[in-house]
Amino acid sequence: MIEKDTEFWSQVWDWLMINAPLIAGMLLAAVTAFTREKRDGAGWMASLAEAAICSFISIGIITALEYANLPLSLAQFFGVFIGFLGTKKIGAIIESVFIFLKNKFGVNR
């Protein structure tokens, strides 16, 4: 039985401790985005979709933090930051960066 297998629960606990920054950053992004959308008067489905997308974006950013050897304590900050900005502003920022790079390096379509 799984409830009597202490090795299983110790493995679950170890996994949670290893991935705590990722989980916390993802949840903070989702809660912040959901709260912001509900405050702005959006419906439940739109708020949940925004929260899910922001949490997915935060997973990517937090994974990039690990890749860049930056401290994982920044995960919570980026989670809240992404949730506060939202997908539309993040998309606009990324698009403006691409336009800047395109103009800087003279890339033509």
pLDDT at 109: 58
Q: In angstroms, rounded to a whole number, what is the distance separating the alpha carbons of residues 76 and 80?
A: 6
Residues belonging to the chain: 109
* DSSP type of residue 79: H
pLDDT of 2: 66
pLDDT, residue 1, reads: 61
Long-range Cβ contacts of 64-72 (<8 Å, 24+ apart): 72/21, 72/22
Q: What is the pLDDT of residue 24?
A: 94
Q: Determine the Cα–Cα distance for residues 63 and 65; give it in Å rounded to an integer.
A: 5
Sign for the CA dihedral angle at 12, 77, 61, 28 comes to positive
Concatenated DSSP letters of 44-58: HHHHHHHHHHHHHHH
Low-confidence ranges of the chain (pLDDT < 70): 1-3, 108-109
